[in-house]
Structure 1
Amino acid sequence: MKITLDISRLVEEGKLTSEEADKLTKLAAHDTASLGINILVGFAVVAIAAGAVALAPAPLTAIGFGLALFAAGFAIAFNRVQHWMLLGQIFLVIGALMFGGGAIAYRADLLATMLIITGVFGLAAIIARSSLLMALAVLAASACLGARTGYSHASYSLAIYEPTLTVVVFSMVALIAYQASQRLPAEYARLAITAARTSLLLINFGFWIGSLWGDPLMLMRSLAAEDISSTLMTKPVIPSLVFSVLWAVALLGAGFWAVRANRRWLVNLVAVFSGIHFYTQWFEKLGATPFSVLLGGLVMLASAIALWMFNRRIADRDRA
């Protein structure tokens, strides 16, 4: 875990002694020159790769440069060249992203493509210790189940075609990642926590979509269907009401556990999706009338005040 401290201010306030401040200062990294060179070389390589892709705008070009950067970063990390570790991490992250983008542009419709991207992102995340890539690896895994996002003018879209599988699969991923975080060293525990948190987001997205349209279980029915035309049926097998009730129960249980375990991030996540769940069901059932909007706003305002009081209590306890 990394934290930022204003050493001079803490000494002035009497919260640190001069001896403690000197010790913390000596523990800090001082390779400023090496850091600057790493960053400059990293930017130069990114610019060269971006220019090359722009000159030959083809998916295979991006894939090739991505693999080259990934290999260079892996070599630096594997040989533990300490002065160039930051550069190696930059190469790994940029290389993985270029490879993933090129692969998606080349054949995004193939399951194998998304599985490969998931594996590459996950491997790069572990080597580079990148929380960004770990989150992207989990998101790429969700695409294997049909999760999609989209953007058109002034509008965003989210599509999850398998809500039930999304909830079940990523509940398992979140549980495994959380358990792993309790046993791994700090650097890797952070990655496991990132995977668990991203999985929790996907679980809530699955419940959200399911609470609106239910789940026709298209994948399971297509695997069991003899006539492929029957897989086009979209009638829900699991009704939206089931998702609405289970989502509320899951949020309630997660909220209680988060408060007891002092998991502040999870408390805030539960609060956000509780608000989304409330508004979704509220306006789905009552419609957007002046009274429903007013009452809904009052309920959410009360919830926001309660959340603010909880966060303040936690902050006060941490300072004590």
Structure 2
Amino acid sequence: MKITLDISRLVEEGKVTPEEAQRLIALASRETGSLAINILIGFGVVAIAAGAVALVPTPLTAVTLGLALTAAGFAVLVSRVKQWDVLGQICLVIGALMFCGGVIAFGEGSLAAMLIVTAVLALIAAAARSSLLTVLAVLAASACLGAKAGYAHAMYSLAIFEPTLTIVLFSALAFAAYQVSKRLPADYERIALAAARTAILLVNFGFWIGSLWGDPLFLLSRMAGKARAAPRLEDVVIPHTVFSIAWAVVLIAAALWAMRINRRWLVNVAAIFGAIHFYTQWFETLGATPVSVLLGGLMMLAIALALWAFNRRPAAA
């Protein structure tokens, strides 16, 4: 569990001695350096895997090379030679990504291919203790429900075709991962929290899409066989107002709970998506006019001040 402290203020208030402050600062510097290295390794690994998959002639080659690198990574980690741990984890991550890329290409993005990718990424993430692979495993699970992201020139896109199922399933995953994280050692706690946080982001994206277009319940309609023709986007079953109200309630409840148990990341996420939700609904209703922008800004400041006052109450007590 990571927390944020204002060391300078704690020293001024006499709650921490200067010696203790220096020790905490030294520990934080080491963590910051480790974070920077991990970020660089993560970007490098993804670039290598993507380039290698694009260069190999067939998906079968990518799968074979991925399996070979994964086996090499496992062998290095099993040998328990500490100075080679980083190399072993890099081989595991690159191998996993190459294997999954080959499986997706071979299966042409089918549901079976995405299920295999999700399972493989989850297993190797646990073995390599990799937060990157954990995040990718959760994203692959969302792709099983049809979630997509794309990029065109100066434009990003996000598509979630099953908002309700996304919200329900990934809320359950986030809750389960958080509960499991409290019973695991530090390395595996980090992995479980990465899964929970990624699931929370997907839940918010599901609410966001649902609050704009509602949910036609494509998958449930096909499974129930109610529609002879393929369901259309206009055939809304759950209206967008239900998502809008439910999202606001969930965000407020999550923020209050996170403040009570000192989960700063969740507080920040609730605040960010709260602002996104507020401005989305505000401008969808009133449009982008000078008056609506001014009123929207004033209301957000009022909400921010109310949250600040609430957050100050435990400290004052």
For the aligned pair, the TM-score class normalised by the smaller chain equals 0.7 to 0.9
Q: Give the structure 2 partner of residue 88 of structure 1.
A: 88
CA distance in 1, matches of 2:249, 2:50: 48
Q: Give the structure 1 partner of residue 209 of structure 2.
A: 209
CA contact (8 A) 2:204 2:273 kept: yes
CA distance in 2, matches of 1:80, 1:160: 42
Render the CA deviation track for 1:125-146: whole Å, top value 9, x for unaligned. 1111111111111111011111
Structure 1 stretch displaced more, 124-133 or 220-229: 220-229
Q: Give the structure 2 partner of residue 289 of structure 1.
A: 289
CA contact (8 A) 1:218 1:234 kept: no
Q: Give the structure 2 partner of residue 8 of structure 1.
A: none
**Are 2:248 and 1:248 equivalent residues in the alignment?**
yes
Q: Give the structure 1 partner of residue 171 of structure 2.
A: 171
2:278 alignment partner, SS class: helix
Render the CA deviation track for 1:182-204: whole Å, top value 9, x for unaligned. 11111111111111111110110
CA contact (8 A) 1:73 1:90 kept: yes
Render the CA deviation track for 1:237-277: whole Å, top value 9, x for unaligned. 00000000100110111111011111111100000000000
Residue in structure 2 matching 1:16, options 14, 19, 24: 19
Q: Give the structure 2 partner of residue 118 of structure 1.
A: 118
Q: 1:91 to 1:189 in 2, by over 3 A?
A: same
CA distance in 2, matches of 1:149, 1:96: 21
Render the CA deviation track for 1:186-241: whole Å, top value 9, x for unaligned. 11111111111111101100011000111011100101116642444641100000
Q: Give the structure 2 partner of residue 259 of structure 1.
A: 259
Q: Give the structure 1 partner of residue 9 of structure 2.
A: none
Q: 1:90 to 1:52 in 2, by over 3 A?
A: closer
Q: 1:239 to 1:50 in 2, by over 3 A?
A: closer
Q: 1:94 to 1:228 in 2, by over 3 A?
A: farther
Q: Is there any run of 5+ residues in structure 2 with no aligned partner, and where?
A: 4-15, 31-39
CA distance in 2, matches of 1:53, 1:161: 28
Q: Give the structure 1 partner of residue 146 of structure 2.
A: 146
Displacement of 1:50 in angstroms is: 7.7
Q: Give the structure 2 partner of residue 238 of structure 1.
A: 238
Q: Give the structure 1 partner of residue 192 of structure 2.
A: 192
Q: Give the structure 2 partner of residue 31 of structure 1.
A: none
The count of residues paired between Structure 1 and Structure 2 equals 288
CA distance in 2, matches of 1:51, 1:291: 49
Q: Is there any run of 5+ residues in structure 1 with no aligned partner, and where?
A: 4-12, 29-38
CA contact (8 A) 2:216 2:231 kept: no
One-letter amino acid of the counterpart of residue 102, structure 2? G
CA distance in 1, matches of 2:309, 2:102: 47
CA distance in 1, matches of 2:60, 2:283: 47
1:161 alignment partner, SS class: coil
CA distance in 1, matches of 2:227, 2:297: 49
CA distance in 2, matches of 1:54, 1:92: 19
1:184 alignment partner, SS class: coil
Render the CA deviation track for 1:12-60: whole Å, top value 9, x for unaligned. x97338xx97xx99xx9xxxxxxxxxx99xx89x97x888656534333
CA distance in 2, matches of 1:310, 1:209: 30
Identical positions, percent: 61
CA contact (8 A) 1:77 1:127 kept: no
Q: 1:310 to 1:78 in 2, by over 3 A?
A: farther
Q: 1:83 to 1:243 in 2, by over 3 A?
A: same
Q: Give the structure 2 partner of residue 9 of structure 1.
A: none
Q: Give the structure 2 partner of residue 158 of structure 1.
A: 158
CA contact (8 A) 1:64 1:99 kept: yes
RMSD of aligned Cα (Å): 3.4
Q: Give the structure 2 partner of residue 298 of structure 1.
A: 298
User: Considering only CA atoms, is the larger Rg found in Structure 1 or Structure 2?
Assistant: 1
Q: Give the structure 2 partner of residue 272 of structure 1.
A: 272
CA distance in 1, matches of 2:52, 2:143: 29
Q: 1:98 to 1:253 in 2, by over 3 A?
A: same
Q: Give the structure 2 partner of residue 74 of structure 1.
A: 74
